[in-house]
């Protein structure tokens, strides 16, 4: 069953080695934050980052934001210690990097269970390699604990031997496959990062494209990107007004025993009502969060 609608418009990576950044996250407008133990942390700072993240999560104060902990991947010197710490840290979810199979999800769950993790603890899986993209359906179905697929476009472009382009043609197929796998199993889906902090127009375009593809939100690398993501992945006032008209018109038609109705010259069926209701629910959740 799909999870209740909740805002994940802006999901900000924060290096857990920077304790000041973790403190600052309590006041940011991001819907979720990812305390990163992996790519954003130098090898010499891994242990400090892990301790910082555990302390920050325990201290709380993040309000309705989801606080996600990204561990180092299987096969790295830090993976086992990260899982041991994450098992009892109390994060909203644990983010597994470079997931390429259902077996990898199972191995992570076994490691977490060994260290006393709750049986229903949420897992997010990064899809950031060609093998991961091709295995996205089996990863999404690996466990009820998997709740979200996260596109890792930077690593994916590298592994593909591709080039970053403004239109993101090099990853469009992969992004579509990630969304398909997520939706087929009732999961959330998050778009990859926009690396050029100076390219505001490019960020706006990427956010709009991700929204059009069906993603719930975008992963970010800097707080200055939050506003653009929140705006792009929020229903507009016009969309909400139409959604209200669709729901009301369909309800009126149903009361007359009719299954379809025309709104603004367009045929409205049950599937359109479901989309309208989801938009209204998302808007309500955004208001409740703020």
Helix H, strand E, coil C: the string for 91-150 is CCEEEECCCCCHHHHHHHHHHHHHCCCCCCCEEEEEECCHHHHHCHHHHHCCCCCEEEEE
36 and 15 Cβ atoms separated by less than 8 Å:
yes
> What confidence tens digit (pLDDT) does each residue in 147-187 have?
999 999 999 999 999 999 999 999 999 999 999 999 999 99
Kindly tell me if the per-residue pLDDT of 70 is higher than 90.
Answer: yes
The pLDDT score that the predictor gives to residue 156 is 98
The pLDDT score that the predictor gives to residue 2 is 55
Lowest mean pLDDT among 68-77, 115-124, 154-163, 265-274: 265-274
Ramachandran region, residue 168 (left: φ > 0; alpha: ψ -120 to 50; beta: rest) = left
Kindly tell me if the per-residue pLDDT of 53 is higher than 70.
Answer: yes
Domain boundaries, the chain: 10-232, 237-289
Helix (H) or strand (E) holding 250: helix 237-255
CATH (residue range 10-232) = 3.20.20.60
> What confidence tens digit (pLDDT) does each residue in 195-209 have?
999 999 999 999 999
> What confidence tens digit (pLDDT) does each residue in 78-135 have?
999 999 999 999 999 999 999 999 999 999 999 999 999 999 999 999 999 999 999 9
């Amino acid at each position: 069953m799909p999870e209740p609608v909740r805002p994940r418009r802006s999901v900000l990576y924060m290096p857990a080695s920077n304790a000041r950044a973790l403190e600052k996250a309590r006041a940011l407008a991001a819907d979720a934050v990812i305390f990163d133990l992996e790519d954003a942390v130098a090898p010499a700072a891994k242990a400090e980052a892990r301790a910082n993240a555990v302390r920050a999560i325990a201290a709380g104060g993040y309000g309705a934001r989801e606080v996600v902990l990204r561990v180092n991947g299987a096969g790295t010197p830090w993976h086992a210690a990260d899982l041991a710490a994450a098992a009892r840290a109390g994060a909203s979810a644990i983010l597994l990097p470079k997931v390429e199979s259902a077996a990898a999800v199972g191995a992570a769950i076994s490691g977490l269970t060994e260290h006393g993790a709750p049986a229903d603890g949420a897992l997010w899986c990064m899809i950031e390699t060609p093998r991961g993209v091709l295995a996205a359906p089996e990863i999404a179905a690996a466990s009820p604990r998997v709740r979200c697929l996260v596109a890792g476009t930077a690593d994916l472009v590298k592994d593909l031997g591709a080039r970053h382009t403004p239109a993101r043609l090099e990853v469009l197929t992969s992004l579509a496959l990630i969304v398909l796998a997520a939706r087929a199993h009732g999961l959330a889906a998050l778009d990859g990062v926009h690396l050029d902090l100076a390219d505001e127009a490019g960020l706006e375009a990427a956010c709009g494209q991700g929204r059009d593809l069906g993603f719930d939100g975008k992963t970010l690398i800097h707080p200055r990107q939050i506003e653009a993501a929140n705006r792009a992945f929020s229903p507009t006032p016009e969309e909400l007004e139409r959604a209200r008209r669709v729901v009301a018109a369909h309800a009126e038609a149903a009361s007359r025993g009719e299954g379809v109705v025309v709104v603004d010259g367009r045929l409205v069926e049950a599937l359109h009502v479901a989309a309208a209701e989801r938009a209204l629910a998302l808007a309500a959740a955004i208001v409740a969060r703020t």
